[in-house]
Amino acid sequence: MATALHHLSDYDPATIPSTKGMRFGIVVADWNDRYTYAMAEAAVETLRKHGVSDEDIDIKHVPGSFELVYGSAWMIRNMHVDAVIAIGCVIRGDTPHFDYICQGTTQGLAQLNANGDIPVIYGLLTCNNAEQAEARTGGVLGNKGTECAVTAIKMVAYGEK
């Protein structure tokens, strides 16, 4: 049975809470920067679209996706942000390296979320090939960075209703 493709950038702007007073951190992996930088740009554009000023968006870079855990933890401790968006991209190769990086990063980000007061948004693409990464960073499936920014806003407002 075929399923319809979900465009990652599709959302109802009316469902987005006010961003007044919110500060966001974005940690971006430099590895596979063609994809990670496109996601970071989409995240920033989406935050701006919903009223977040540039002064309330802090961006830091780490070498690769595995370092997103440290970068996110550092940002939580030192940058006074309300949410962190962790952006990375791992593309499967010929060795098990892909599995180790994806598992370790996922577990680390999940631990930060479960044990902290600041939401960490999972923006790690785990793709089998470059075409899948392209489709999710501005291609036919939209941009995962947009989805991450929307999620960050909603999670900061989560307990405020």
Enter the tokens of residue 85.
């968006």
Helix, strand, coil percentages (3-state) for the chain, rounded to 5, are 45, 20, 30
Q: CA-CA distance, 22 to 127, in Å (whole number)? A: 31
Helix H or strand E segment including 117? none
Active site residue 7: no
Q: Which residues contact 114 (CB under 8 A, 6 or more apart)?
A: none
Catalytic residue among 6, 7, 80, 97: 97
Q: CA-CA distance, 24 to 107, in Å (whole number)? A: 22
Task: Let me know how long the chain is.
Answer: 161
DSSP state of 10: -
Q: CA-CA distance, 69 to 62, in Å (whole number)? A: 10
- List, by residue number, the catalytic residues: 97
